[in-house]
């Protein structure tokens, strides 16, 4: 499917997701989220499972990474067989579920069929009539809230996991303190907002190379650039020129005509596309292998741009830049104010990034709310929750495909396995996700 076709395709299912990372910050999967108006837990699960499978596929919804799908006891007992196979899915059983003999037997059958199961609330006395050990014996993932490992939390929560042979997942990891505590406790997987926040680093100046990359990224999106100036800005960076031409000639674009110059790329693809691709390629140098963070940046950028276009705001490109730059502090491990000191961006973009002020700040707040599936809180009279949810879900799919295409092999030059990965929405540069 082409980039343009994807952007025009409406989605009948709305979803959000949070990345699950391993101890090395590699992507291990995505937790799918859904919060719909007047939708209970079972309705939410059903809409994710059935809607995502029939409209886009669970693999597509997670960019080819494992999908941690929230399920309830009722969902598992009522839907037999499940409407999807075990490949690429982790059945994430909700906290507080009563696990009786019927559900335990259902979990055993699912395990025998190859499904991976995640459970929470693993302390003794899990639920009526069933020992925690019986459930843990069937689980591949044990889920614990990070707050339990912080001072004042229920530190003994991990006592029941000493003999657990699967992966231990810490959720609600929203601060560096929580991440450090979970690492020290031996957890394998992490889910929370910490990955989008700056990590402590030595108090020294931003490396010159990183500063240059950020300055170039901002320059590519300067409002006054014309075709000649955009061409000169790209050509001046030999590495960027090479990567851009390699990208536009990749099999992901499936173009019959070979593009041989930066100017030809601008003429054929348009300034907006080339500017956005250029910014992605430049920021990918700063991000390194932190692909989930770059995916978040792309999805936020696309969401902000689409919000601007929907509301008729001027200069949607500036909204795209705002969303893309909203993770700069996390990318370089510096407070946003310090990062922006050396990056030439407009005052209204700075206000949006630092204070969430103005129209661009409002769009960024809305994009961040979409990441938590909080569409009702972010909706506007002119952009209702259902439309906003579909818009943000489309942005996620676009981000996956865009990032996948940016790492595609050139057409006719080693194309093959890389192309198959891109077609599946995977991120070849990051390697395959570490499945549990």
Q: Where are the domains of the chain?
A: 3-196, 208-303+319-347+397-430
- Inter-residue long-range contacts of 198-202, CB under 8 Å, 24+ positions, other chains counted: 198/329, 198/330, 198/332, 198/333, 198/334, 198/335, 199/330, 199/333, 200/176, 200/333, 201/333, 201/334
Q: Are strands 67-71 and 27-33 parallel, antiparallel or unpaired?
A: parallel
Q: Given this model, what pLDDT does residue 8 score?
A: 41
Tell me if 57 sits within 8 A of 230, measured CB to CB: no
Q: What is the pLDDT along the chain (436 residues), one digit of tens a residue?
A: 333 333 444 445 678 899 999 998 889 999 988 764 444 556 666 666 666 655 567 788 888 899 999 888 888 988 888 888 899 999 999 887 878 888 999 999 999 999 999 998 654 444 455 677 888 889 999 999 998 887 765 555 666 677 788 999 999 999 888 999 899 888 999 999 988 887 765 444 455 556 677 777 777 776 677 888 888 888 887 778 887 888 877 755 656 678 888 888 888 888 888 888 888 888 887 776 678 888 999 999 999 999 999 999 988 989 999 999 999 888 888 889 988 887 888 899 999 999 999 999 999 999 999 998 899 999 999 999 989 998 999 999 999 888 877 665 555 544 333 333 333 334 444 444 555 6
| Residue 225 φ/ψ, nearest 5 degrees | -60, 135
Q: Return the structure tokens found at 383.
A: 């952009």
Q: Given this model, what pLDDT does residue 339 score?
A: 86
DSSP annotation of 222 reads -
Q: Given this model, what pLDDT does residue 310 score?
A: 95
Identify the CA nearest to 55 among candidates 7, 11, 89, 85: 11
Q: Given this model, what pLDDT does residue 358 score?
A: 96
Instruction: Determine the Cα–Cα distance for residues 387 and 378; give it in Å rounded to an integer.
Output: 11
Q: Given this model, what pLDDT does residue 158 score?
A: 64
Identify the CA nearest to 358 among candidates 308, 317, 403, 416: 308
Tell me if 367 sits within 8 A of 383, measured CB to CB: no
412 by DSSP, 3-state: which? coil
CATH code assigned to 3-196: 3.20.20.450
Contacts of 341 (CB under 8 A, 6+ apart): none
């Amino acid at each position: 499917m082409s980039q343009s076709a994807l952007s025009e395709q409406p989605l009948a299912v709305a979803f959000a997701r949070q990345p699950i990372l391993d101890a090395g910050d590699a992507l291990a999967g995505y937790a799918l989220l859904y919060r719909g108006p007047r939708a209970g837990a079972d309705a939410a699960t059903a809409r994710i499972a059935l809607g995502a499978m029939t409209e886009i596929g669970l693999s597509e919804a997670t960019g080819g990474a494992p999908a941690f799908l929230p399920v309830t006891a009722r969902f598992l007992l009522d839907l037999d067989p499940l409407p999807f196979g075990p490949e690429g899915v982790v059945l994430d059983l909700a906290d507080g579920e009563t696990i009786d003999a019927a559900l335990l037997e259902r979990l055993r059958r699912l395990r025998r069929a190859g499904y991976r199961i995640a459970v929470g609330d693993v302390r003794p006395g899990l639920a009526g009539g069933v020992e925690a050990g019986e459930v843990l014996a069937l689980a591949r993932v044990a889920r614990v809230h990070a707050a339990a490992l912080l001072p004042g939390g229920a530190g003994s929560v991990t006592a029941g996991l000493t003999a657990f042979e699967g992966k231990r997942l810490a959720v609600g990891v929203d601060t560096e303190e929580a991440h450090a505590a979970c690492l020290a406790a031996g957890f394998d997987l992490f889910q929370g907002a910490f990955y989008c926040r700056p990590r402590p680093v030595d108090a020294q100046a931003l490396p010159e190379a990183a500063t240059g990359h950020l300055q170039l990224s901002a320059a590519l999106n300067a409002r006054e650039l014309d075709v000649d100036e955009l061409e000169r800005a790209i050509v001046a960076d030999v590495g960027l020129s090479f990567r851009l031409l390699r990208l536009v000639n990749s099999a992901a674009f499936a173009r019959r005509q070979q593009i041989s110059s930066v100017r030809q790329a601008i003429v054929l693809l348009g300034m907006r596309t080339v500017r956005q691709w250029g910014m992605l390629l430049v920021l990918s140098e700063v991000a390194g292998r932190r692909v989930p963070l770059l995916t978040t940046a792309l999805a936020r950028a696309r969401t902000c741009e689409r919000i601007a276009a929907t509301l008729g705001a001027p200069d949607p490109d500036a909204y795209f830049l705002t969303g893309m730059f909203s993770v700069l502090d996390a990318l370089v491990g510096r407070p946003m104010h310090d990062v922006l000191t050396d990056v030439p961006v407009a005052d209204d973009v700075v206000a949006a990034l630092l204070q969430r002020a103005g129209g661009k700040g409002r769009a960024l707040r809305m994009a961040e709310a979409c990441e938590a599936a909080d569409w009702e809180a972010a909706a506007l009279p002119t952009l209702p929750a259902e439309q906003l949810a579909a818009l943000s879900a489309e942005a996620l799919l676009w981000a996956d495909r865009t990032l996948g295409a940016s790492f595609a092999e050139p057409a006719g030059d080693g194309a093959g396995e890389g192309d198959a990965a891109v077609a599946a929405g995977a991120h070849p540069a990051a390697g395959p996700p570490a499945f549990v």
